[in-house]
Amino acid sequence: MTGTILGIEKEANKVLIQPTESKPNRNIMVFGGPGSYKTQSVVITNVLNETEHSQVITDPKGEVYELTGGVKEMQGYEVHVLNFMDMTNSDRHNPIDYVNKDIEASTVATKIVDSANKDGKRDVWYYSQRALLKALILYSRYEFEPKDRTMTGILDFLQEFDPANNEKGDSELDKQFMQLDRRHPARRSYELGFKKSQGEMQGSIIMSLLTTISDFVDEEVSQFTSFSDFHLQDIGRKKIVLYVIIPVMDNSWESLINIFFSQLFNELYKLGAKHGAKLPINVDFWLDEFVNLGKFPTFEEFLATCRGYGIGVGIILQSLTQLYDKYKREKAESILGNCSVKICLNSANMTTAEYFEKMLGKTTVRIDTQSKSKQHNSKDSGGTSTSEGEQYSQRQLMTADEIMTLPEDESVIVFSNKHPLRVKKAFQFKLFKGATLLNPKSQANYSPTPSVEQLERYKERITEYHGYRLKQQEETKQAEDTAFQAQEQADKKEASKANETITDEQKAYLKKREALLADMQEQEQEQAPELPKESPLKVAEEDTTKEPEIAEQSDLMFENETENRSYSDYYATEDSPTAINFESEDE
């Protein structure tokens, strides 16, 4: 069976069911205070009735799981429990598993920081904390091994790399981010956000963030967020029933609960986008104690578009004032407008009653009238006349007082495109007698089992990580080789340039030397003494008396030889090309 059970018609005694393909949507807003049978006449009734759609149920006390979990197994469903009251008996959910883009990291960081920002003040401390946490989440997503991509892994990272600045104004944390590529998402978020704050301010921001995420130090929470036992998109792929057990009096984990549902909505839309804006399996949400799930900034947009994807949402509140308080009046009205069916099980306050009085509108009623008159005169004792009539008047279909005093087995239904109805409540123990006793469960005995698909996805992440690291190593080696080759080419070019310069200087010097040599030879020829035409030796043989003159000529000859030798020696000294002195300005 499929469809949403709204109640039982009073006169025909027939079950009133809203079809899956009904228009304008399958969204339902239910108001019922304590003792209005919200669980017994709305939630459990529809959980048992639905056998085709996946279902997500918020279960404030765990009662719905214990009464229906076994029946859903018998109906062929895969049953999962996410228990925020007792995380040791629960499936696990790691928010970082669903961070693949900057905007998704921002969503997780915002939800976590908002949980500690009780006064709602958004100042520089708030935005700096969020920017730092976003950078850390992105760093873990891209740089950590898959097993460490958790909030606990981020805490370990902060513990290993001291965020405190040294004397130079840097920190070990800075070094880890700044060694990333300039366009790396984590570095950009870190450098353009947290890094822009001043030194002392950075210390305060880190302390505030550590206080904000300190709950993740708890071993139970650390284990709960260490892995995802099922993928959120699986809810739209196959028949799954998920019970989300939430604490009623404790809002410590409101941020985690809100992150979970935000990511679930987003993942279902991603899956639908892959299948022509339609989920393979329709999904029904029954969100009891809706305001305890935190605030969803774009929830009205989700309600306005979810029908096309095959999603129906049932929102259950105690009163209208809860919705106004959480979302403010304007957004609350928008949320109400996107619910085509509104049910009042009973009214917890006058605000809710007056809202339904107005929504029910007015009706025309017939009022029967009767009048009597007596006449008195002098002739007789007089007579009496009676007249009857009827009048038509308008009045509210139901007044606020009448709504607040509804019998406990009745409810009022207002449709967006049909006339309202006053019906009997559809109690599950009357429609499905004994069903909850067939296979009862205990939330304390729930044992999580990771799905096969999730284990395969985890192996894929490990392979992807090793491939990423290998690619990084190859890119690093390639960059180093390129840098080495560039330096080698630069060195060769510099050496070649130097050689070319030396050669030019040598050529200039040699040319200068040749010119100098030519000049010196020319001067030598001009200054050399003219020798006798006859050999001095011959003269000595003929006339020994002229010996002194010959000696003088001989001395002159040797003097010339010495002078010639000194020129030759000049060319072979350190000024010669074999030992050029380039520091001499003369040269």
Reported as a single tens digit per residue, the pLDDT across 358-415 is 999 887 666 666 666 666 555 555 567 777 666 667 778 999 999 999 999 999 999 9
- The model's pLDDT over 73-86, given as tens digits with 9 standing for 90+, comes to 999 999 999 999 99
The structural domain count of the chain equals 2
pLDDT at 425 over 80: yes
- Work out the pLDDT band at 118, boundaries 50, 70, 90: low
pLDDT at 441 over 60: yes
What's the CA angle centered on 22, arms 280 and 431, to 5 degrees? Answer: 90
Same domain for 218 and 240, yes or no, is no
Residue 546: CB partners within 8 Å, gap ≥ 6? Answer: 539, 540
pLDDT attached to residue 265: 97
- The mean predicted confidence, pLDDT, of the chain is 85
pLDDT attached to residue 378: 53
What's the CA angle centered on 203, arms 197 and 207, to 5 degrees? Answer: 120
Q: Is residue 253 part of a domain?
A: yes
Q: Is 464 helix (H, G, I), strand (E, B) or coil?
A: helix
pLDDT attached to residue 224: 96
- Work out the pLDDT band at 208, boundaries 50, 70, 90: confident
- Work out the pLDDT band at 211, boundaries 50, 70, 90: confident
Same domain for 301 and 333, yes or no, is yes
pLDDT at 21 over 60: yes
Same domain for 204 and 293, yes or no, is no
Which of 190, 207, 227 terminates a domain? The answer is 227
- The model's pLDDT over 312-337, given as tens digits with 9 standing for 90+, comes to 999 999 999 999 999 999 999 999 99
| Least confident piece of the model among 48-57, 227-236, 378-387 | 378-387
pLDDT attached to residue 119: 67
pLDDT, greater one: 338 or 251: 338
pLDDT at 416 over 60: yes
Structure tokens at 418: 């049909």
pLDDT at 560 over 70: no
- Work out the pLDDT band at 104, boundaries 50, 70, 90: very high
Q: What's the one-letter identity of residue 79?
A: V
* Secondary structure of 223-286 as H, E, C letters: HHCCCCCCCHHHHHCCCEEEEEECCCCCCCCHHHHHHHHHHHHHHHHHHHHCCCCCCCCCEEEE
Q: Single out the residue of 289, 265, 268, 288 nearest to residue 277, CA to CA.
A: 268
- The model's pLDDT over 339-352, given as tens digits with 9 standing for 90+, comes to 999 999 998 899 99
Same domain for 233 and 223, yes or no, is no
pLDDT attached to residue 428: 96
Q: Is residue 388 part of a domain?
A: no
| Least confident piece of the model among 11-25, 47-61, 285-299, 542-556 | 542-556
pLDDT attached to residue 488: 82
Quickly count: other Cβ atoms within 10 Å of residue 105's Cβ. Answer: 25
pLDDT attached to residue 51: 96
Q: Is residue 42 part of a domain?
A: yes
Q: Is residue 476 part of a domain?
A: no
- The model's pLDDT over 235-272, given as tens digits with 9 standing for 90+, comes to 999 999 999 999 988 888 888 999 999 999 999 999 99
How many angstroms from the chain centroid is the CA of residue 289? 27
Same domain for 44 and 143, yes or no, is no
Same domain for 310 and 435, yes or no, is yes
Same domain for 88 and 98, yes or no, is no
Which of 450, 465, 493 terminates a domain? The answer is 450
Q: Is residue 571 part of a domain?
A: no
Same domain for 218 and 252, yes or no, is no
| Domain range enclosing 130 | 94-227
- Work out the pLDDT band at 114, boundaries 50, 70, 90: confident
Same domain for 212 and 311, yes or no, is no
Q: Is residue 537 part of a domain?
A: no
Q: Single out the residue of 306, 301, 267, 263 nearest to residue 284, CA to CA.
A: 306
Q: Is residue 379 part of a domain?
A: no
Q: Single out the residue of 412, 400, 397 nearest to residue 365, CA to CA.
A: 397
Residue 2's CATH number: 3.40.50.300
Share of the chain above pLDDT 70, in %: 82
Same domain for 85 and 120, yes or no, is no
Same domain for 291 and 408, yes or no, is yes
Which of 450, 472, 496 terminates a domain? The answer is 450
Measured torsion, CA atoms of residues 536, 540, 545, 548, in degrees rounded to the nearest 10: 50
Q: Is residue 305 part of a domain?
A: yes
- Work out the pLDDT band at 575, boundaries 50, 70, 90: very low
- Work out the pLDDT band at 586, boundaries 50, 70, 90: very low
CA distances in angstroms from 34 to 5, 41, 61, 317, listed in the order given: 21, 13, 14, 10
pLDDT attached to residue 499: 61
Question: What's the whole-number mean pLDDT along residues 45-56?
Answer: 97
**In angstroms, rounded to a whole number, what is the distance separating the alpha carbons of residues 409 and 392?**
31
- The model's pLDDT over 482-536, given as tens digits with 9 standing for 90+, comes to 888 888 888 888 777 766 655 666 667 777 878 888 888 777 776 665 555 554 4
148 burial level (CB within 10 Å; 0-12, 13-18, 19+):
middle
pLDDT at 7 over 50: yes
pLDDT, greater one: 524 or 282: 282
pLDDT attached to residue 450: 93
Q: Which residue has the tokens 């340039």?
A: 497
Same domain for 79 and 101, yes or no, is no
